[in-house]
């Protein structure tokens, strides 16, 4: 039993040697992660997304960071690096986190392309207005102005997450937002749609139906020539 345990731990450590991908992406292990082959997750990421969408990413660091607990999250993007928690449910959970945070890396270099024509913002605000009306009828008497702010607001996020609850939101927003988290802010609306696009490639029709402006932008992002115009 002890020999098998030691052999299993050794296999995990062998799979967690820092490495570079064929495209030059550096993957570094700050802390060990169990039961997930990170190299295979990253390989899937690079195979699924067009290469030009990695232009801002230099490094992926796997481990635990204080920001995860302070900000109640398990991944974030900052300064060319994707920081990913080493506590993951499974392969797909980690892949989802990587796709989601990679989407945030695109907002600085391509912010005007994404948001300049206001199409995604207008679509998002129409949905926020609908959310306000639904919650008002349910007894949550929150001013409409709170729903018309496209930036992240911690107080509003806590209202949705803790007071209303994501279960209630899921029921109320079926066919409006991809997930309740998409209602958090304009940036998360984009990131959630982007993640859906690249993690559920067989369900594009649903994303296109409920978020056509967002869907169109994500499709255009796949073509580097579109980004230059």
User: Burial, 33: exposed, middle or buried (Cβ in 10 Å; 0-12, 13-18, 19+)?
Assistant: buried
> Looking at residue 179, what DSSP letter applies?
S
Task: Give me the pLDDT at residue 55, please.
Answer: 93
Task: Give me the pLDDT at residue 130, please.
Answer: 95
Task: Give me the pLDDT at residue 225, please.
Answer: 83
31-87 pLDDT per residue, tens: 999 889 999 999 999 999 999 999 999 999 999 999 898 888 899 999 999 999 999
Task: Give me the pLDDT at residue 92, please.
Answer: 95
Report the mean per-residue pLDDT for the chain: 90
Task: Give me the pLDDT at residue 8, please.
Answer: 52
Task: Give me the pLDDT at residue 202, please.
Answer: 72
| Rounded Cα–Cα distance for residues 189 and 32 (Å) | 32
Task: Give me the pLDDT at residue 11, please.
Answer: 52
| Rounded Cα–Cα distance for residues 195 and 101 (Å) | 9
| Rounded Cα–Cα distance for residues 171 and 180 (Å) | 9
**Domain boundaries in the chain?**
2-105, 117-228
| Rounded Cα–Cα distance for residues 194 and 221 (Å) | 10
CA-based nearest residue to 20, from 28, 10, 12: 28
- Stretches where the chain sits below pLDDT 50 are 2, 4-6
Residues 30 and 64 sit within 8 Å (Cβ to Cβ): yes
Residues 176 and 135 sit within 8 Å (Cβ to Cβ): no
pTM attached to this predicted model:
0.89
Task: Give me the pLDDT at residue 17, please.
Answer: 85
Backbone angles phi, psi at 19, to 5 degrees: -150, 165
Task: Give me the pLDDT at residue 5, please.
Answer: 44
């Amino acid at each position: 039993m002890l020999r098998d345990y030691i052999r299993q731990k050794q296999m995990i450590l062998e799979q967690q040697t820092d490495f570079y991908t064929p495209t030059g992406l550096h993957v570094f292990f700050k802390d060990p992660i169990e039961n997930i082959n990170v190299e295979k997750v990253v390989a899937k990421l690079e195979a699924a997304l067009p290469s030009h969408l990695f232009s801002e990413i230099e490094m992926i660091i796997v481990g635990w960071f204080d920001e995860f607990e302070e900000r109640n999250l398990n991944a974030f993007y900052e300064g060319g690096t994707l920081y990913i928690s080493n506590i993951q449910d499974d392969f797909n959970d980690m892949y989802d986190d990587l796709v989601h945070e990679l989407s945030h890396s695109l907002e600085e270099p391509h912010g005007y392309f994404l948001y300049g024509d206001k199409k995604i913002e207008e679509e998002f605000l129409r949905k926020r207005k609908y959310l306000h009306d639904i919650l008002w009828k349910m007894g949550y008497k929150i001013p409409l102005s709170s729903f018309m702010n496209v930036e992240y607001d911690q107080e509003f996020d806590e209202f949705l997450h803790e007071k209303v609850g994501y279960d209630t939101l899921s029921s109320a927003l079926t066919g409006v937002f991809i997930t309740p988290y998409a209602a958090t802010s304009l940036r998360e609306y984009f990131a959630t749609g982007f993640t859906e696009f690249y993690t559920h490639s067989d369900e594009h029709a649903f994303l296109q139906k409920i978020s056509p402006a967002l869907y169109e932008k994500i499709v255009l992002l796949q073509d580097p020539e579109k980004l230059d115009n």
